[in-house]
Structure 1
Amino acid sequence: MQIYFFVLAALCYACCAFLPSKNRLAISLGTLVGWLLHGGALWADIAAAPDSLRLGFAVMLSATLWISVAAYWLENRNFSLDGMRVLVLPCAALAVLLPPIFPGSVIPLQGKTALFPWHIAIATLAYATLTIAAFHAVLMALQESKLHTRMSDQKKGWFALAIDRLPALLTMEKLLFRLIGFGFLLLTLTVVSGVVFSEELFGRAFTWDHKTIFTILSWVLFGVLLAGRRWQGWRGRTALGFTLAGFSLLLLAYVGSRFVLEVVLHRSFI
Protein backbone atom coordinates (compact mmCIF):
# COMPACT_ATOMS: atom_id res chain seq x y z
CA MET A 1 0.00 0.00 0.00
CA GLN A 2 2.79 2.43 0.85
CA ILE A 3 4.03 2.36 -2.75
CA TYR A 4 0.93 4.35 -3.73
CA PHE A 5 1.79 6.95 -1.10
CA PHE A 6 5.35 7.14 -2.45
CA VAL A 7 4.01 7.77 -5.96
CA LEU A 8 1.44 10.33 -4.79
CA ALA A 9 4.12 12.15 -2.78
CA ALA A 10 6.38 12.24 -5.85
CA LEU A 11 3.53 13.67 -7.95
CA CYS A 12 2.81 16.37 -5.33
CA TYR A 13 6.48 17.36 -5.20
CA ALA A 14 6.80 17.42 -9.00
CA CYS A 15 3.66 19.53 -9.46
CA CYS A 16 4.71 22.02 -6.79
CA ALA A 17 8.20 22.26 -8.25
CA PHE A 18 6.92 23.57 -11.58
CA LEU A 19 3.94 25.67 -10.50
CA PRO A 20 4.37 29.42 -11.13
CA SER A 21 5.73 31.18 -8.05
CA LYS A 22 2.62 33.39 -7.80
CA ASN A 23 0.62 30.33 -6.63
CA ARG A 24 2.13 30.50 -3.16
CA LEU A 25 -0.84 28.98 -1.31
CA ALA A 26 -1.14 26.04 -3.73
CA ILE A 27 2.60 25.41 -3.56
CA SER A 28 2.62 25.54 0.24
CA LEU A 29 -0.38 23.21 0.63
CA GLY A 30 0.77 20.82 -2.08
CA THR A 31 4.25 20.60 -0.59
CA LEU A 32 2.79 19.92 2.85
CA VAL A 33 0.53 17.16 1.51
CA GLY A 34 3.46 15.59 -0.35
CA TRP A 35 5.64 15.80 2.76
CA LEU A 36 2.99 14.09 4.91
CA LEU A 37 2.50 11.33 2.33
CA HIS A 38 6.27 10.94 2.03
CA GLY A 39 6.73 10.68 5.79
CA GLY A 40 3.87 8.23 6.24
CA ALA A 41 5.10 5.99 3.41
CA LEU A 42 8.67 6.14 4.66
CA TRP A 43 7.66 5.12 8.17
CA ALA A 44 5.42 2.33 6.86
CA ASP A 45 8.29 1.03 4.73
CA ILE A 46 10.83 1.14 7.60
CA ALA A 47 8.43 -0.63 9.98
CA ALA A 48 6.88 -2.94 7.37
CA ALA A 49 7.98 -6.20 8.99
CA PRO A 50 6.86 -6.93 12.58
CA ASP A 51 9.52 -6.57 15.30
CA SER A 52 12.09 -5.33 12.80
CA LEU A 53 13.30 -2.29 10.86
CA ARG A 54 14.01 -2.04 7.15
CA LEU A 55 17.08 0.12 6.52
CA GLY A 56 19.28 0.91 3.55
CA PHE A 57 20.93 3.66 1.53
CA ALA A 58 17.65 4.40 -0.31
CA VAL A 59 15.83 4.98 2.98
CA MET A 60 18.64 7.30 4.09
CA LEU A 61 18.48 9.34 0.89
CA SER A 62 14.69 9.47 0.99
CA ALA A 63 14.77 10.58 4.64
CA THR A 64 17.36 13.22 3.74
CA LEU A 65 15.08 14.75 1.14
CA TRP A 66 12.13 14.47 3.53
CA ILE A 67 14.06 16.64 6.00
CA SER A 68 15.08 18.95 3.13
CA VAL A 69 11.46 19.55 2.17
CA ALA A 70 10.56 20.24 5.81
CA ALA A 71 13.42 22.73 6.14
CA TYR A 72 12.41 24.46 2.91
CA TRP A 73 8.72 24.61 3.87
CA LEU A 74 9.39 26.01 7.36
CA GLU A 75 12.05 28.54 6.37
CA ASN A 76 10.01 29.69 3.36
CA ARG A 77 7.57 31.17 5.85
CA ASN A 78 10.32 33.54 7.05
CA PHE A 79 12.39 34.03 3.89
CA SER A 80 11.67 33.97 0.17
CA LEU A 81 13.14 30.61 -0.87
CA ASP A 82 11.51 30.13 -4.27
CA GLY A 83 14.89 29.40 -5.81
CA MET A 84 15.34 26.49 -3.42
CA ARG A 85 11.89 25.14 -4.29
CA VAL A 86 12.84 24.39 -7.89
CA LEU A 87 16.01 22.65 -6.68
CA VAL A 88 14.73 20.71 -3.65
CA LEU A 89 11.34 19.45 -4.82
CA PRO A 90 12.46 17.72 -8.06
CA CYS A 91 15.19 15.93 -6.10
CA ALA A 92 12.64 14.94 -3.47
CA ALA A 93 10.29 13.63 -6.18
CA LEU A 94 13.04 11.26 -7.32
CA ALA A 95 14.31 10.28 -3.87
CA VAL A 96 10.84 9.42 -2.59
CA LEU A 97 10.65 6.59 -5.17
CA LEU A 98 13.97 4.94 -4.20
CA PRO A 99 12.91 2.78 -1.18
CA PRO A 100 10.54 0.55 -3.20
CA ILE A 101 13.28 0.05 -5.82
CA PHE A 102 16.12 -0.57 -3.35
CA PRO A 103 14.40 -2.07 -0.27
CA GLY A 104 17.58 -2.47 1.81
CA SER A 105 17.87 -5.04 4.57
CA VAL A 106 15.66 -6.07 7.49
CA ILE A 107 17.15 -5.57 10.96
CA PRO A 108 15.43 -7.72 13.65
CA LEU A 109 14.61 -6.01 16.94
CA GLN A 110 14.61 -9.17 19.03
CA GLY A 111 17.10 -8.81 21.84
CA LYS A 112 17.41 -5.05 21.26
CA THR A 113 16.41 -2.52 23.91
CA ALA A 114 13.81 0.19 23.44
CA LEU A 115 16.70 2.63 22.91
CA PHE A 116 17.69 0.98 19.61
CA PRO A 117 14.93 2.43 17.35
CA TRP A 118 15.48 5.87 18.90
CA HIS A 119 19.22 5.64 18.23
CA ILE A 120 18.53 4.74 14.59
CA ALA A 121 15.98 7.56 14.21
CA ILE A 122 18.31 10.19 15.70
CA ALA A 123 21.24 8.97 13.60
CA THR A 124 19.13 9.12 10.45
CA LEU A 125 17.98 12.67 11.23
CA ALA A 126 21.57 13.72 11.98
CA TYR A 127 22.89 12.32 8.69
CA ALA A 128 19.98 13.84 6.78
CA THR A 129 20.35 17.31 8.31
CA LEU A 130 24.11 17.48 7.74
CA THR A 131 23.70 16.21 4.19
CA ILE A 132 21.32 19.09 3.54
CA ALA A 133 23.87 21.47 5.06
CA ALA A 134 26.51 20.19 2.63
CA PHE A 135 24.32 20.80 -0.41
CA HIS A 136 23.34 24.17 1.02
CA ALA A 137 27.03 25.08 1.27
CA VAL A 138 27.57 24.07 -2.37
CA LEU A 139 24.66 26.29 -3.43
CA MET A 140 26.25 29.17 -1.53
CA ALA A 141 29.56 28.61 -3.33
CA LEU A 142 27.78 28.60 -6.70
CA GLN A 143 25.82 31.69 -5.72
CA GLU A 144 29.02 33.51 -4.74
CA SER A 145 30.80 32.55 -7.96
CA LYS A 146 27.91 33.88 -10.04
CA LEU A 147 28.32 37.30 -8.43
CA HIS A 148 31.52 37.63 -10.46
CA THR A 149 29.97 36.37 -13.71
CA ARG A 150 27.68 38.46 -15.87
CA MET A 151 25.33 36.67 -18.24
CA SER A 152 22.02 37.62 -19.84
CA ASP A 153 18.90 35.72 -18.79
CA GLN A 154 18.53 34.41 -22.36
CA LYS A 155 21.80 32.51 -22.04
CA LYS A 156 21.06 31.03 -18.61
CA GLY A 157 19.69 27.54 -18.04
CA TRP A 158 17.02 26.73 -15.45
CA PHE A 159 19.65 25.85 -12.84
CA ALA A 160 21.44 29.19 -13.22
CA LEU A 161 18.11 31.02 -13.01
CA ALA A 162 17.26 29.06 -9.85
CA ILE A 163 20.60 30.10 -8.30
CA ASP A 164 19.77 33.73 -9.12
CA ARG A 165 16.48 33.39 -7.22
CA LEU A 166 18.11 32.21 -3.99
CA PRO A 167 18.04 34.55 -0.98
CA ALA A 168 20.96 36.89 -0.25
CA LEU A 169 24.23 35.22 0.80
CA LEU A 170 23.93 36.47 4.38
CA THR A 171 20.48 34.87 4.64
CA MET A 172 21.81 31.64 3.13
CA GLU A 173 24.67 31.69 5.63
CA LYS A 174 22.25 32.01 8.56
CA LEU A 175 20.28 29.05 7.26
CA LEU A 176 23.48 27.03 6.79
CA PHE A 177 24.64 27.43 10.37
CA ARG A 178 21.15 26.71 11.70
CA LEU A 179 21.28 23.39 9.84
CA ILE A 180 24.80 22.63 11.02
CA GLY A 181 23.96 23.49 14.63
CA PHE A 182 20.88 21.26 14.64
CA GLY A 183 22.69 18.46 12.83
CA PHE A 184 25.64 18.66 15.23
CA LEU A 185 23.29 18.33 18.21
CA LEU A 186 21.71 15.21 16.69
CA LEU A 187 25.11 13.80 15.74
CA THR A 188 26.34 14.36 19.32
CA LEU A 189 23.39 12.34 20.63
CA THR A 190 24.17 9.63 18.07
CA VAL A 191 27.84 9.40 19.04
CA VAL A 192 27.21 9.50 22.80
CA SER A 193 24.44 6.88 22.67
CA GLY A 194 26.49 4.64 20.39
CA VAL A 195 29.59 4.80 22.59
CA VAL A 196 28.01 4.73 26.06
CA PHE A 197 25.16 2.30 25.34
CA SER A 198 26.83 0.14 22.69
CA GLU A 199 26.18 -3.16 24.46
CA GLU A 200 22.54 -2.30 25.19
CA LEU A 201 21.95 -1.04 21.64
CA PHE A 202 23.85 -3.56 19.55
CA GLY A 203 24.41 -6.45 21.94
CA ARG A 204 28.19 -6.10 21.82
CA ALA A 205 30.90 -4.02 23.46
CA PHE A 206 32.00 -0.78 21.83
CA THR A 207 34.39 -1.35 18.90
CA TRP A 208 36.37 1.01 16.70
CA ASP A 209 34.93 0.01 13.33
CA HIS A 210 34.96 2.18 10.20
CA LYS A 211 31.51 3.65 10.90
CA THR A 212 32.50 4.75 14.39
CA ILE A 213 35.81 6.29 13.31
CA PHE A 214 34.37 8.23 10.38
CA THR A 215 31.36 9.40 12.40
CA ILE A 216 33.53 10.69 15.26
CA LEU A 217 35.90 12.42 12.83
CA SER A 218 32.91 14.10 11.20
CA TRP A 219 31.58 15.14 14.62
CA VAL A 220 34.97 16.71 15.44
CA LEU A 221 35.04 18.67 12.17
CA PHE A 222 31.54 20.07 12.61
CA GLY A 223 32.33 20.93 16.25
CA VAL A 224 35.50 22.79 15.22
CA LEU A 225 33.53 24.66 12.55
CA LEU A 226 30.87 25.80 15.02
CA ALA A 227 33.55 26.83 17.53
CA GLY A 228 35.44 28.71 14.82
CA ARG A 229 32.23 30.43 13.76
CA ARG A 230 31.49 31.42 17.36
CA TRP A 231 34.95 32.63 18.37
CA GLN A 232 36.71 33.49 15.10
CA GLY A 233 33.81 34.42 12.84
CA TRP A 234 34.59 31.73 10.26
CA ARG A 235 32.51 31.92 7.09
CA GLY A 236 32.77 31.64 3.31
CA ARG A 237 35.27 29.15 1.93
CA THR A 238 36.36 28.04 5.39
CA ALA A 239 32.81 27.05 6.32
CA LEU A 240 32.38 25.36 2.92
CA GLY A 241 35.55 23.32 3.36
CA PHE A 242 34.69 22.10 6.85
CA THR A 243 31.09 21.34 5.88
CA LEU A 244 32.01 19.28 2.82
CA ALA A 245 34.80 17.45 4.68
CA GLY A 246 32.43 16.54 7.52
CA PHE A 247 29.76 15.44 5.06
CA SER A 248 32.24 13.29 3.11
CA LEU A 249 33.19 11.44 6.29
CA LEU A 250 29.53 10.80 7.10
CA LEU A 251 29.00 9.54 3.57
CA LEU A 252 31.89 7.11 4.00
CA ALA A 253 30.57 6.11 7.43
CA TYR A 254 27.12 5.04 6.34
CA VAL A 255 25.33 5.86 3.10
CA GLY A 256 28.26 5.22 0.72
CA SER A 257 29.27 1.94 2.33
CA ARG A 258 25.66 0.73 2.45
CA PHE A 259 25.27 1.50 -1.26
CA VAL A 260 28.35 -0.54 -2.16
CA LEU A 261 27.35 -3.49 0.02
CA GLU A 262 23.66 -3.55 -0.91
CA VAL A 263 23.73 -2.67 -4.61
CA VAL A 264 27.20 -3.75 -5.75
CA LEU A 265 27.99 -6.68 -3.41
CA HIS A 266 24.39 -7.62 -2.50
CA ARG A 267 25.21 -7.85 1.20
CA SER A 268 23.71 -6.18 4.28
CA PHE A 269 25.01 -4.88 7.59
CA ILE A 270 24.24 -2.44 10.37
Structure 2
Amino acid sequence: MNATIFAALSICAYLGSALLIIRKFHRGDDNRAPLYLAWAAACAHFAYIAINFHNENGFNFSFVSTASLISLIVVLLLLIAILSKPIEKLGIAIFPVAAIMLGLELSFPEQLRPLHNHNWQMSIHVLTSIIAFSLLNIAALQSILLAVQDQQLKSHPPKRFILSLPPLQTMESLLFQMLGTGVGFLTISLISGFIFIEDLFAQHLVHKTVLSILAWVIFSGLLIGRSRYGWRGRTAIKWTLIGFVSLLLAYFGSKLVLELILNRT
Protein backbone atom coordinates (compact mmCIF):
# COMPACT_ATOMS: atom_id res chain seq x y z
CA MET A 1 0.00 0.00 0.00
CA ASN A 2 1.35 3.43 -0.93
CA ALA A 3 2.73 5.55 1.92
CA THR A 4 0.75 8.55 0.70
CA ILE A 5 -2.51 6.66 1.21
CA PHE A 6 -1.60 5.91 4.82
CA ALA A 7 -0.74 9.59 5.35
CA ALA A 8 -4.07 10.73 3.89
CA LEU A 9 -6.00 8.22 6.02
CA SER A 10 -4.12 9.34 9.11
CA ILE A 11 -4.79 13.03 8.49
CA CYS A 12 -8.52 12.42 8.00
CA ALA A 13 -8.70 10.22 11.11
CA TYR A 14 -6.86 12.77 13.26
CA LEU A 15 -9.20 15.56 12.23
CA GLY A 16 -12.25 13.34 12.57
CA SER A 17 -11.21 12.30 16.07
CA ALA A 18 -10.73 15.91 17.19
CA LEU A 19 -14.18 16.83 15.86
CA LEU A 20 -15.77 13.85 17.59
CA ILE A 21 -14.15 14.80 20.90
CA ILE A 22 -15.61 18.31 20.59
CA ARG A 23 -19.02 16.84 19.74
CA LYS A 24 -18.75 14.30 22.55
CA PHE A 25 -18.23 16.88 25.27
CA HIS A 26 -20.77 19.25 23.77
CA ARG A 27 -23.39 16.53 24.10
CA GLY A 28 -22.01 15.11 27.35
CA ASP A 29 -22.07 11.44 26.24
CA ASP A 30 -19.50 8.69 26.78
CA ASN A 31 -18.74 7.74 23.20
CA ARG A 32 -15.42 5.91 22.70
CA ALA A 33 -15.37 6.40 18.92
CA PRO A 34 -12.95 9.41 19.05
CA LEU A 35 -10.30 7.29 20.76
CA TYR A 36 -10.71 4.38 18.36
CA LEU A 37 -10.37 6.79 15.46
CA ALA A 38 -7.30 8.39 17.07
CA TRP A 39 -5.64 4.97 17.47
CA ALA A 40 -6.38 4.26 13.79
CA ALA A 41 -4.82 7.62 12.86
CA ALA A 42 -1.70 6.88 14.90
CA CYS A 43 -1.35 3.42 13.34
CA ALA A 44 -1.66 4.88 9.83
CA HIS A 45 0.84 7.61 10.74
CA PHE A 46 3.26 4.95 12.00
CA ALA A 47 2.76 2.91 8.82
CA TYR A 48 3.61 5.97 6.72
CA ILE A 49 6.82 6.56 8.69
CA ALA A 50 7.73 2.84 8.57
CA ILE A 51 7.32 2.67 4.78
CA ASN A 52 9.50 5.76 4.32
CA PHE A 53 12.06 4.32 6.74
CA HIS A 54 12.23 1.15 4.65
CA ASN A 55 12.38 2.98 1.32
CA GLU A 56 15.09 5.41 2.46
CA ASN A 57 17.09 2.87 4.53
CA GLY A 58 16.76 5.05 7.61
CA PHE A 59 14.66 7.76 9.18
CA ASN A 60 14.84 11.25 7.71
CA PHE A 61 15.65 13.57 10.63
CA SER A 62 15.05 16.74 8.65
CA PHE A 63 13.03 19.60 10.16
CA VAL A 64 9.54 18.63 8.96
CA SER A 65 10.08 14.86 9.27
CA THR A 66 11.28 15.26 12.86
CA ALA A 67 8.24 17.42 13.66
CA SER A 68 5.99 14.72 12.19
CA LEU A 69 7.70 12.00 14.25
CA ILE A 70 7.43 14.06 17.43
CA SER A 71 3.74 14.68 16.78
CA LEU A 72 3.20 10.91 16.43
CA ILE A 73 5.03 10.21 19.70
CA VAL A 74 2.98 12.93 21.43
CA VAL A 75 -0.21 11.30 20.13
CA LEU A 76 0.86 7.83 21.29
CA LEU A 77 1.87 9.10 24.73
CA LEU A 78 -1.46 10.89 25.03
CA LEU A 79 -3.45 7.81 23.97
CA ILE A 80 -1.58 5.65 26.48
CA ALA A 81 -2.09 8.25 29.22
CA ILE A 82 -5.82 8.44 28.45
CA LEU A 83 -6.14 4.78 29.49
CA SER A 84 -5.57 5.81 33.11
CA LYS A 85 -5.88 9.61 33.18
CA PRO A 86 -8.80 11.90 32.22
CA ILE A 87 -6.94 14.00 29.63
CA GLU A 88 -8.82 13.08 26.46
CA LYS A 89 -9.64 16.73 25.77
CA LEU A 90 -5.98 17.44 24.96
CA GLY A 91 -6.67 15.60 21.73
CA ILE A 92 -8.64 18.62 20.53
CA ALA A 93 -5.29 20.43 20.18
CA ILE A 94 -2.86 17.55 19.65
CA PHE A 95 -4.64 15.60 16.90
CA PRO A 96 -5.03 18.54 14.46
CA VAL A 97 -1.37 19.51 15.03
CA ALA A 98 -0.32 15.93 14.20
CA ALA A 99 -2.42 16.11 11.03
CA ILE A 100 -0.78 19.42 10.05
CA MET A 101 2.75 18.10 10.66
CA LEU A 102 2.05 14.97 8.63
CA GLY A 103 0.52 17.07 5.86
CA LEU A 104 3.60 19.31 5.76
CA GLU A 105 5.88 16.28 5.55
CA LEU A 106 3.80 14.92 2.71
CA SER A 107 3.70 18.24 0.84
CA PHE A 108 7.27 19.44 1.34
CA PRO A 109 9.78 16.56 1.16
CA GLU A 110 13.23 17.66 2.36
CA GLN A 111 16.83 16.61 1.94
CA LEU A 112 17.44 13.19 3.47
CA ARG A 113 19.12 13.31 6.91
CA PRO A 114 19.16 9.65 8.04
CA LEU A 115 19.79 8.50 11.59
CA HIS A 116 22.07 5.66 10.49
CA ASN A 117 24.75 8.25 9.71
CA HIS A 118 25.30 8.40 13.49
CA ASN A 119 26.55 5.74 15.91
CA TRP A 120 24.33 4.10 18.52
CA GLN A 121 25.39 6.58 21.20
CA MET A 122 24.15 9.52 19.15
CA SER A 123 20.99 7.57 18.34
CA ILE A 124 20.28 7.29 22.07
CA HIS A 125 20.81 11.04 22.44
CA VAL A 126 18.47 11.87 19.55
CA LEU A 127 15.71 9.47 20.59
CA THR A 128 15.72 10.48 24.27
CA SER A 129 15.62 14.11 23.17
CA ILE A 130 12.54 13.43 21.07
CA ILE A 131 10.78 11.54 23.87
CA ALA A 132 11.60 14.30 26.38
CA PHE A 133 10.28 16.99 24.05
CA SER A 134 7.12 14.97 23.39
CA LEU A 135 6.35 14.50 27.09
CA LEU A 136 7.02 18.14 27.92
CA ASN A 137 4.88 19.15 24.94
CA ILE A 138 1.92 17.36 26.52
CA ALA A 139 2.77 18.99 29.87
CA ALA A 140 2.70 22.43 28.23
CA LEU A 141 -0.72 21.75 26.69
CA GLN A 142 -1.92 20.42 30.04
CA SER A 143 -0.77 23.66 31.70
CA ILE A 144 -2.72 25.74 29.16
CA LEU A 145 -5.84 23.68 29.83
CA LEU A 146 -5.23 24.11 33.57
CA ALA A 147 -4.93 27.89 33.11
CA VAL A 148 -8.24 28.03 31.23
CA GLN A 149 -9.91 25.91 33.88
CA ASP A 150 -8.56 28.05 36.72
CA GLN A 151 -9.61 31.29 35.02
CA GLN A 152 -13.11 30.02 34.23
CA LEU A 153 -13.74 28.73 37.72
CA LYS A 154 -12.67 32.06 39.29
CA SER A 155 -14.13 34.60 36.87
CA HIS A 156 -17.19 33.16 35.14
CA PRO A 157 -19.93 30.61 35.59
CA PRO A 158 -18.16 27.44 34.45
CA LYS A 159 -19.09 26.17 31.00
CA ARG A 160 -19.93 22.54 30.27
CA PHE A 161 -16.44 21.89 28.91
CA ILE A 162 -14.83 23.16 32.13
CA LEU A 163 -17.26 21.26 34.34
CA SER A 164 -16.39 18.05 32.50
CA LEU A 165 -12.71 18.39 33.47
CA PRO A 166 -11.29 16.69 36.58
CA PRO A 167 -10.78 18.85 39.73
CA LEU A 168 -7.93 21.38 39.68
CA GLN A 169 -5.90 19.30 42.14
CA THR A 170 -6.11 16.27 39.83
CA MET A 171 -5.14 18.35 36.80
CA GLU A 172 -2.12 19.76 38.67
CA SER A 173 -1.08 16.28 39.79
CA LEU A 174 -1.21 15.06 36.17
CA LEU A 175 0.85 18.08 35.08
CA PHE A 176 3.65 17.36 37.53
CA GLN A 177 3.66 13.65 36.69
CA MET A 178 4.26 14.54 33.03
CA LEU A 179 6.91 17.11 33.98
CA GLY A 180 8.77 14.61 36.16
CA THR A 181 8.87 11.95 33.43
CA GLY A 182 9.84 14.49 30.79
CA VAL A 183 12.67 15.89 32.92
CA GLY A 184 13.97 12.36 33.42
CA PHE A 185 14.32 11.83 29.66
CA LEU A 186 15.71 15.34 29.20
CA THR A 187 18.39 14.56 31.80
CA ILE A 188 19.41 11.42 29.89
CA SER A 189 19.47 13.44 26.66
CA LEU A 190 21.73 16.13 28.11
CA ILE A 191 24.12 13.65 29.76
CA SER A 192 24.43 11.59 26.57
CA GLY A 193 24.99 14.78 24.58
CA PHE A 194 27.85 15.90 26.81
CA ILE A 195 29.43 12.45 26.67
CA PHE A 196 29.04 11.64 22.98
CA ILE A 197 29.17 15.04 21.19
CA GLU A 198 32.83 15.94 20.82
CA ASP A 199 32.73 19.61 19.78
CA LEU A 200 29.57 21.61 20.43
CA PHE A 201 30.96 24.74 18.78
CA ALA A 202 32.13 23.03 15.60
CA GLN A 203 28.75 21.33 15.22
CA HIS A 204 26.77 24.56 15.74
CA LEU A 205 25.02 23.05 18.77
CA VAL A 206 26.06 25.42 21.55
CA HIS A 207 22.83 27.47 21.37
CA LYS A 208 20.74 24.29 21.45
CA THR A 209 22.69 23.02 24.46
CA VAL A 210 22.35 26.30 26.37
CA LEU A 211 18.60 26.51 25.76
CA SER A 212 18.11 22.84 26.67
CA ILE A 213 20.04 23.31 29.92
CA LEU A 214 17.97 26.41 30.67
CA ALA A 215 14.78 24.40 30.14
CA TRP A 216 16.13 21.62 32.38
CA VAL A 217 16.93 24.14 35.14
CA ILE A 218 13.45 25.68 34.87
CA PHE A 219 11.60 22.35 34.94
CA SER A 220 13.80 20.91 37.69
CA GLY A 221 13.40 24.07 39.75
CA LEU A 222 9.65 23.84 39.33
CA LEU A 223 9.61 20.22 40.50
CA ILE A 224 11.77 21.11 43.53
CA GLY A 225 9.55 24.12 44.27
CA ARG A 226 6.49 21.89 44.10
CA SER A 227 8.05 19.36 46.48
CA ARG A 228 9.54 21.79 49.01
CA TYR A 229 7.37 24.90 48.82
CA GLY A 230 4.11 23.61 47.38
CA TRP A 231 4.23 25.66 44.17
CA ARG A 232 1.04 25.29 42.18
CA GLY A 233 -1.54 27.19 40.17
CA ARG A 234 -0.32 30.12 38.10
CA THR A 235 3.28 29.66 39.22
CA ALA A 236 3.34 26.12 37.86
CA ILE A 237 1.58 27.17 34.65
CA LYS A 238 3.89 30.12 34.00
CA TRP A 239 7.16 28.26 34.51
CA THR A 240 5.97 25.22 32.59
CA LEU A 241 5.27 27.39 29.56
CA ILE A 242 8.54 29.34 29.91
CA GLY A 243 10.51 26.09 30.12
CA PHE A 244 8.70 24.65 27.12
CA VAL A 245 9.34 27.75 25.00
CA SER A 246 13.05 27.44 25.82
CA LEU A 247 12.98 23.77 24.79
CA LEU A 248 11.00 24.57 21.66
CA LEU A 249 13.62 27.11 20.59
CA ALA A 250 16.39 24.62 21.38
CA TYR A 251 14.89 21.79 19.35
CA PHE A 252 13.22 23.54 16.44
CA GLY A 253 14.82 26.98 16.47
CA SER A 254 18.24 25.51 15.75
CA LYS A 255 16.91 23.13 13.08
CA LEU A 256 14.96 25.94 11.45
CA VAL A 257 18.03 28.17 11.25
CA LEU A 258 20.45 25.46 10.15
CA GLU A 259 18.24 23.67 7.61
CA LEU A 260 15.74 26.15 6.26
CA ILE A 261 17.64 29.44 6.46
CA LEU A 262 21.41 28.91 6.38
CA ASN A 263 21.19 26.14 3.77
CA ARG A 264 19.33 28.49 1.43
CA THR A 265 21.58 31.51 1.79
Q: Normalised by the shorter chain, which TM-score bucket?
A: 0.7 to 0.9
Please tell me whether the aligned partners of residues 215 and 253 of structure 1 are also in contact (alpha carbons under 8 angstroms).
yes
After superposition, the Cα gap between the structure-2 partners of 1:110 and 1:46, relative to the gap in structure 1 and judged at 3 Å, is closer
- Asked if residue 255 in structure 1 is aligned to residue 252 in structure 2, the reply is yes
Residue range with higher mean Cα deviation, 140-149 or 17-26: 17-26
Please tell me whether the aligned partners of residues 187 and 216 of structure 2 are also in contact (alpha carbons under 8 angstroms).
yes
- Asked if residue 15 in structure 1 is aligned to residue 16 in structure 2, the reply is yes
> Quick one: distance in 2 between partners of 1:93 and 1:206?
32
TM-score, length of structure 1 as denominator length: 0.81
After superposition, the Cα gap between the structure-2 partners of 1:71 and 1:219, relative to the gap in structure 1 and judged at 3 Å, is same
Give the residue type in structure 2 aligned to 1:213: V
More helix by share: 2
1:220 counterpart residue number: 217
Please tell me whether the aligned partners of residues 64 and 131 of structure 1 are also in contact (alpha carbons under 8 angstroms).
no
SS in 1 for 2:154: coil
* Paired residues for 1:186-225 under 5 Å: 186-199=185-198, 209-225=206-222
> Quick one: distance in 2 between partners of 1:196 and 1:34?
37
After superposition, the Cα gap between the structure-2 partners of 1:9 and 1:149, relative to the gap in structure 1 and judged at 3 Å, is same
> Quick one: distance in 1 between partners of 2:247 and 2:200?
23
- Asked if residue 99 in structure 1 is aligned to residue 105 in structure 2, the reply is yes
> Quick one: distance in 2 between partners of 1:143 and 1:96?
30
**1:142 aligned to 124, 145, 148, which one?**
148
Between the two proteins, the alignment pairs up a number of residues equal to: 257
Give the residue type in structure 1 aligned to 2:149: Q
Shift of 1:136: 1.5
After superposition, the Cα gap between the structure-2 partners of 1:96 and 1:237, relative to the gap in structure 1 and judged at 3 Å, is same
TM-score, length of structure 2 as denominator length: 0.82
1:57 counterpart residue number: 63
2:165 counterpart residue number: 166
What whole-Å deviation, never above 9, does each CA across 1:181-200 have from its counterpart, x for those lacking one?
Answer: 1111111111011101213x
Give the residue type in structure 2 aligned to 1:101: S
- Asked if residue 76 in structure 1 is aligned to residue 75 in structure 2, the reply is no
Please tell me whether the aligned partners of residues 126 and 184 of structure 1 are also in contact (alpha carbons under 8 angstroms).
yes
2:136 counterpart residue number: 130
> Quick one: distance in 2 between partners of 1:104 and 1:121?
20
Residue range with higher mean Cα deviation, 202-211 or 86-95: 202-211
After superposition, the Cα gap between the structure-2 partners of 1:238 and 1:203, relative to the gap in structure 1 and judged at 3 Å, is closer
After superposition, the Cα gap between the structure-2 partners of 1:85 and 1:127, relative to the gap in structure 1 and judged at 3 Å, is closer
Please tell me whether the aligned partners of residues 144 and 169 of structure 1 are also in contact (alpha carbons under 8 angstroms).
yes
> Quick one: distance in 2 between partners of 1:90 and 1:207?
32
Any unmatched runs of 5+ in structure 1? 154-160
Shift of 1:217: 1.4
